[in-house]
Amino acid sequence: MPKESMIMAQNDNDISISLENASYVQSNSTASKLNVLINYDVKNKTLEDETINGVMKVYASNGTLVKYSSFPNGFLANETGIVEFKTTLRDPNLTNIVANVTLFDIKKENVLSNSIAKELSLQKPVDESGPPK
């Protein structure tokens, strides 16, 4: 078995992630906000209290990568927790996207978790002012 495959197999169980919530909302005529909340559960206890990182890749409906984001300095992994990924997309034509999230080591070289992919459609902002009184 190649060394890379062995690393991937070992890292598959280091951290388990699941989707908590995701939203893709138009903020104005030229920008939309993407927000993805991920639950994580550290299985490999040597990673607790270590700084790790996460990557969110955003794809257009045709499969083109349109945004790549991560944490500039990583984040501290607890036994369990929630991580928030958020970004702004400035293409008004992106009405349907796929957000893909994976956790990595701090250098973003080794995968530590499963990946979560979520399809999202652009939502119009909710008018919170309500009907006139």
Give pLDDT tens digits for 69-97. Answer: 999 999 999 999 999 999 999 998 999 99
Q: Is residue 128 part of a domain?
A: no
| pLDDT at residue 98 tops 70 | yes
Q: Is residue 133 part of a domain?
A: no
Q: What CATH code is carried by the domain that includes residue 94?
A: 2.60.40.10
Q: Is residue 54 part of a domain?
A: yes
**Full 3-state SS string of 82-103:** EEEEEEEECCCCCCEEEEEEEE
| pLDDT at residue 47 tops 80 | yes
Domain ranges, residue 14:
3-121
Report the SS3 class of residue 47.
helix
Token representation of residue 53:
């990182």
* Total count of domains within the chain: 1
d(CA 112, CA 116): 13
Q: Is residue 129 part of a domain?
A: no
Q: Is residue 127 part of a domain?
A: no
Mean pLDDT of 96-104: 97
